[in-house]
Each structure stands twice: as structure tokens, then as C-alpha cells.
């Protein structure tokens, strides 16, 4: 495994052992990698969007109506109104109707019933007119109520001032204005009540209200279906994303293997980078699935079990020891892979420094003038003296790291 990673690293950063990749070419390739990776994620997002999500399976309005049961006889007309008038009120060019057949087709059966019936109601011209008139009357009443509140505050202020000045002319005028607003509010409320009575009397609305008010058994069934969909959705999403990613990964893997077999350095370099780029989304999606499922299911049950036994302290002990172990592994990796003895010696040799004390040596020095350490050793192959920090003999090229 270690040798394979080292070989992959060489293929990513050099054309061949004799021809290393210069920094400008490597920069250009990395920029291309970033562009291709960006396009790959955009394509993955567009492909994933074709899969039915939880919000499409049970839209917000349906969840609010059936699961949360926040639609009551007092507010359900107000909640239904924006949906019935949705197609009329939206002016965006890229607007998508909530009653699109493809959208309704992928919904939960009970949500389908609701949206199909709401679509029929939105196309009823007489009912549409009732909702539109109610909307206008409600907006007018809202404006009048705001004006009434302002007039009431003005009346209260003037009344206090007039009491102090022993005059009531301004207060009477303010009271008259407030009374007019109050009368208008009453008239508009009567209009809205009459319109709502007309809406409730419509046969299609009565059918919809039956759908909106499921009994407890029906609600429990719908909630169970929705939870089941949410549970399996991450696995379905990953499988659907792999349908998009695996052919690309397979193509790049085949190209890379063929390039290595035919010893084509340029194609090996490019295909190696593309293979890594195609691997990243797969690895990230697998990690995302693990992170999504493990905390949601495993840890939830684990915490529940520990709490029932009053042993939550065990979890914190585990976290402390886990962090210590991770820290030790990180330190070991840094020391053994990045700053091991052989690499330190090679860096000191490259700087012309002593392999022991790291102080710069005079040109041609065999021993360090500061600590007296010898800078040469005998090659096991040719028997000649070679720098002790070097990986290979300077005379015969034999690798010295294994001796």
C-alpha cells in the first residue's frame, strides 16, 4: 500500500523519474483539476436533483396540514388562499407551479390527494374570484386596522393635552376619525365572513376539508411513511449519485491503467490527476453518509442506553482517551513521515550542514569543526566514502537507506 501511494505521488508530480514536472506546469494542471472538480460537483448536483427529496415527497404545506395539524377551521381558508392564488400571484419568468403534474406524481399519496384537489379548486373561476375578493378585503382591513391604531393613539394623546388645556375640539375630531375606521373594519369583516361562507359552501372545498382533517390513525400512518422515507433517503441518494460518478471513475481508471501499461508519461500524468479528481466526490459522499447515519442512529441509541444506566461518564472517558490516541497518532505520523531521521539528515546535507549539530560546514569538511562528527561513511557496495546523510552512494549510486 505504501509503495502504491508513493508511485501515485510520483505520477501526480512528475512526468518520469528523469523528467520532474516544473512548477508552472504543475500549477496549470492543478487549476485544470479545480475546474474539472467544480464541473463534476455541478453535474452531480443536477443529477441528484432528479431524485425525489423529503421536501418533495411531503411538501411544507402538506406537512403543516397533516403532520403538524396546524390547519384549523379558524385559519384554514387563510392558509389555503396563497396556494389557490399561487399561479395568479407569481410573476417570475422561471416560476414553477406547485400543481405541476411531475411534482404531484412523486408525493406521498395523501399529499397527492390534497394537491390534486387544490389544483381543481385553483382552476374553478367562481371559487377563484371568491378567494381574490377575500384577499383584497383582508388587505384593506389590515390597512384600516393600522390606520385605526394610529388614530387611536392620536386621540389618546390629544385627549390628555385637551384635558390640560380644558378644550375638546381636537379630541372630538380624532374620536370621529377613529370611529369611522372602526365602522369600516366592521364592514370589511362582514364582507370577509360572507366570502368565507361562500367558499365553505363550495362542494370542492368541503371535499378538501375532509382531506385536511385526518384522524389520529391516518396521521400516525402518514408520519410513519414520512420517517421511513427519511431513513432510506440517504442510501438511495448515495446509490443514485454513484450511478453518475462510477462511470466517470471507471473511464479514468481504465485510461490510467492503459497509460501506465503503455508507458505513456503525459497520458499517465493527466489520467492520474483525473483519477484522483473522480475519486474525491465518491470518498466525500461515503464520508457524508457515515456522518449522517452514525450520529443519527448509533449514537442516539447509545446515549439512550447510557442515560438509562446513569453511565454517561463513560462516554466522556471514551472521548478523552480517543483524543489522546488521535494526538499520539498525529505526532507519530509527523515524526516518522515528515521529520524522520533520514529526512532530517538529507535536509542538512542539502544545506551543507553537519548531520549531527546542524551547523554549516566549511567546504570539503570531512569532520564537523564544531562537534567533531564525521560526515562520511563507507559504501557497502563499492567500499568508497560517501556522505552519511545521503540516500545513495555518490560513486556507484547504491541505495544506502537499507544498510
- For the stretch 197-205, contacts whose Cβ atoms lie closer than 8 Å and that sit 24 or more positions apart, written own/partner, are 198/130, 199/77, 199/127, 199/130, 199/131, 199/134, 200/77, 202/121, 202/124, 202/127, 202/130, 204/117, 204/120, 204/121, 204/124, 204/127, 205/121, 205/127
Q: Would you say 245 and 253 are in contact if contact means Cβ atoms under 8 Å apart?
A: no
In the numeric block, which cell numbers belong to residue 58?
Answer: 411531503
Closest CA to 132 of 121, 120, 117: 121
pLDDT (0 to 100) of residue 247: 93
Cα–Cα distance measured from residue 174 to residue 151, given in angstroms and rounded to the nearest whole number: 6
Determine what percent of the chain is predicted with pLDDT higher than 70.
85
| pLDDT score of 250 | 93
Convert the pLDDT of each residue in 111-147 to its tens digit.
999 999 999 988 888 898 999 999 999 999 998 888 8
Collapsing DSSP to helix, strand or coil, 399 comes out as strand
Percent of the chain with pLDDT over 90: 18
The pLDDT value given to residue 394: 85
Q: Residue 240 pLDDT more than 90?
A: yes
User: What is the per-residue pLDDT for 148?
Assistant: 79
The C-alpha cell that represents 74 in the structure block: 379558524
Q: Yes or no: say if 83 and 118 are a contact pair by the CB < 8 Å rule.
A: yes
**pLDDT at residue 175, as a whole number:** 61
Query: Which tops the pLDDT comparison, 301 or 264?
Result: 264
Nearest-angstrom CA–CA distance, 304 and 317: 17
- The burial of 37, by beta-carbon neighbours within 10 Å (0-12 exposed, 13-18 middle, 19 or more buried), is given as middle
User: Tens digits of per-residue pLDDT, 21-45?
Assistant: 777 878 888 899 899 999 999 999 9
> Quick check: 243 pLDDT over 90?
yes
Higher pLDDT, 356 or 152: 356
Instruction: Answer whether residue 337 shows pLDDT above 70.
Output: no
Task: Give every CB contact of residue 383 below 8 A, 6+ residues apart in sequence.
Answer: none
Mean pLDDT for 233-253 is: 91
Task: Give the model's pLDDT for residue 3.
Answer: 66
Burial 138-170 (b: 16+ CB within 10 A, else e): bebbeebeebbeebbebbeebbeebeeeeeeeb
Q: What is the pLDDT of residues 153-172, one digit of tens each?
A: 765 555 545 544 544 444 55
Answering whether pTM is above 0.85, one says no
Q: Using CA atoms, how far apart are residues 257 and 4, in angstroms rounded to an integer?
A: 13
* Domain chopping of the chain, boundaries: 340-403
Amino acid at each position: 500500500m505504501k509503495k502504491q501511494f508513493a508511485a501515485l505521488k510520483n505520477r501526480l508530480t512528475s512526468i518520469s523519474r528523469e523528467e520532474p514536472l516544473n512548477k508552472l506546469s504543475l500549477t496549470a494542471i492543478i487549476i485544470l483539476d479545480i475546474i474539472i472538480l467544480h464541473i463534476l460537483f455541478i453535474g452531480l448536483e443536477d443529477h441528484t436533483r432528479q431524485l425525489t427529496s423529503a421536501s418533495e415527497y411531503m411538501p411544507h404545506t402538506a406537512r403543516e396540514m397533516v403532520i403538524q395539524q396546524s390547519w384549523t377551521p379558524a385559519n384554514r381558508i387563510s392558509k389555503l388562499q396563497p396556494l389557490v392564488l399561487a399561479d395568479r400571484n407569481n410573476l417570475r419568468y422561471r416560476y414553477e407551479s406547485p400543481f405541476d403534474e411531475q411534482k404531484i406524481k412523486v408525493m406521498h399519496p395523501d399529499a397527492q390527494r390534497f394537491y390534486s384537489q387544490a389544483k381543481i379548486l385553483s382552476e374553478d373561476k367562481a371559487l377563484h374570484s371568491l378567494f381574490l375578493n377575500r384577499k383584497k378585503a383582508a388587505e384593506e382591513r389590515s390597512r384600516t386596522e393600522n390606520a385605526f391604531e394610529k388614530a387611536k393613539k392620536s386621540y389618546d394623546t390629544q385627549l390628555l393635552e385637551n384635558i390640560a388645556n380644558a378644550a375638546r375640539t381636537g379630541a372630538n375630531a380624532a374620536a370621529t376619525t377613529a370611529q369611522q375606521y372602526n365602522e369600516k373594519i366592521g364592514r370589511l369583516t362582514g364582507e370577509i365572513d360572507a366570502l368565507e361562507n361562500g367558499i365553505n359552501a363550495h362542494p370542492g372545498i368541503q371535499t378538501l376539508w375532509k382531506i385536511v382533517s385526518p384522524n389520529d390513525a391516518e396521521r400516525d400512518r402518514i408520519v410513519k411513511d414520512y420517517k421511513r422515507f427519511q431513513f432510506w433517503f440517504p442510501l438511495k441518494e448515495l446509490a443514485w449519485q454513484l450511478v453518475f460518478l462510477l462511470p466517470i471513475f471507471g473511464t479514468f481508471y481504465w485510461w490510467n491503467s492503459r497509460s501506465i501499461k503503455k508507458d505513456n508519461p503525459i497520458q499517465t500524468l493527466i489520467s492520474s490527476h483525473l483519477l484522483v479528481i473522480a475519486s474525491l466526490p465518491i470518498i466525500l459522499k461515503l464520508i457524508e453518509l457515515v456522518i449522517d447515519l452514525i450520529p443519527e442512529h448509533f449514537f442516539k441509541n447509545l446515549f439512550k442506553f447510557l442515560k438509562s444506566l446513569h453511565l454517561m461518564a463513560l462516554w466522556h472517558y471514551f472521548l478523552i482517551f480517543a483524543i489522546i490516541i488521535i494526538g499520539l497518532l498525529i505526532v507519530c505520523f509527523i515524526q516518522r513521515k515528515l521529520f524522520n531521521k533520514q529526512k532530517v539528515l538529507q535536509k542538512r546535507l542539502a544545506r551543507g550542514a553537519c548531520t549531527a549539530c546542524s551547523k554549516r560546514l566549511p567546504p570539503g569538511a570531512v569532520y564537523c569543526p564544531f562537534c567533531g562528527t564525521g560526515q562520511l561513511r563507507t559504501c557497502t557496495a563499492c567500499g568508497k566514502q560517501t556522505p552519511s546523510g545521503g540516500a545513495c552512494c555518490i560513486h556507484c549510486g547504491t541505495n544506502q537507506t537499507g544498510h
